[in-house]
Amino acid sequence: MSEKLQQYLDETKDLDALQLVEWGLSTFGKNKIALASSLGAEDQVLTQMILKVDSHARIFTLDTGRQFQENYDVMTASIEKYDFNYEVCFPEVEAVQNLMNRGGPNLFYNSIEDRKACCEVRKMAPLRKKLSTVDCWATGLRSQQSVTRTDTPSVEWDDNFGIFKINPLINWSENSVWDFIKENEIPYNKLHDKGFPSIGCQPCTRAVKEGEDVRGGRWWWETPEQKECGLHMKDGKLVRKSTD
Ligand code: SF4
């Protein structure tokens, strides 16, 4: 572990979620930390928190071009409530054209390789580009969503992107998230009312039944160990069940 990471862990060990957001903004500077929002419940909580601390804090979202209408609805509601603008990250036009010209509009159903190629072009490349502009990113990761249930810290070094990562809601339960949303009248993605625990691309996400693993709704035609797109990985392993 680097000295810097140890220092950050010492500084943040007793902080609650809002305090950790404040710490992140003051430690890295508001232009060098950004919240990655998938427009799901946890990210809506963090949107409220980060904009409360700094109304010009950076929040970005990936528009893969295959989103649900409900995503745009919650974006619009959030912009109206908090009077800010998202940094929207689109994939490179030429890369999407090449993808579709090669495999057609629904190539992700053809094979794991084609699905990963689509995730690379529409999600991972734009994410890498955006994260190259910051020293730290904030995510709505919760330990209950962890595949391994290992101790994911609230501050960590993200080897995938070579920057720090903070997870202010890491110790929150799902109930805490929804209580906070209700108490603070935070706009939320209406897909959650329709059986979608996590928000992904429309053709690759479906509702889950009560009690079904949340990953059951993502890339349901693949086996569980194949379901990852690289957003939340650690030591080569998937960290989050609901990969954004
Ligand atoms: S989730 Fe599906 S549509 Fe979205 S980038 Fe990945 S393969 Fe493409």
Active site residue 229: yes
Give the Cβ contact number of residue 115 at 10 Å.
20
Which residues have CB under 6 Å of ligand 1?
Answer: 64, 66, 108, 115, 118-119, 122-123, 200-201, 203-204, 229
Q: Which helix (H) or strand (E) holds 176?
A: helix 174-183
- Round to whole Å and give the CA distance between 34 and 182: 25
- Round to whole Å and give the CA distance between 206 and 42: 19
With 70 as the cut, is the pLDDT of residue 104 above it? yes
pLDDT of the residue at 239: 56
Contact 165, 194 (CB under 8 A): no
Residues 102, 116, 44: CA angle, nearest 5 degrees:
120
pLDDT of the residue at 212: 82
With 80 as the cut, is the pLDDT of residue 243 above it? no
Q: What is the edge-to-edge ordering of all strands in the sheet holding 136-138?
A: 87-89, 58-62, 33-36, 136-138, 163-166, 155-158
Residues 98, 104, 106: CA angle, nearest 5 degrees:
120
- Distance from residue 204's CA to the centre of ligand 1 (Å): 6
With 50 as the cut, is the pLDDT of residue 236 above it? no
pLDDT of the residue at 56: 97
Section 235-242 average pLDDT? 48
pLDDT of the residue at 231: 59
Atom 6 (ligand 1) nearest CA? 119
Classify residue 59 as exposed, middle or buried by CB count within 10 Å of its CB (0-12, 13-18, 19+): buried
> pLDDT per residue over 36-82, tens digit each?
999 999 999 999 999 999 999 999 999 999 999 999 999 999 999 99
pTM (two decimals): 0.91
> pLDDT per residue over 22-36, tens digit each?
999 999 999 999 999
Catalytic residue of the set 119, 136, 201, 229? 229
7: phi then psi, degrees, rounded to nearest 5: -60, -45
Q: Which of 74, 82, 77 has the alpha carbon at shortest distance from 56? A: 82
- According to DSSP, the β-strands at 233-234 and 136-138 are unpaired
142: phi then psi, degrees, rounded to nearest 5: -120, 145
Q: Which helix (H) or strand (E) holds 74?
A: helix 69-82
With 90 as the cut, is the pLDDT of residue 145 above it? no
pLDDT of the residue at 142: 93
pLDDT of the residue at 237: 47
Domains (range + CATH), the chain: 3-238 (3.40.50.620)
Give me the torsion for CA of 210, 215, 217, 218, rounded to 10°. Answer: 170
With 90 as the cut, is the pLDDT of residue 214 above it? no
With 50 as the cut, is the pLDDT of residue 238 above it? no
pLDDT of the residue at 154: 94
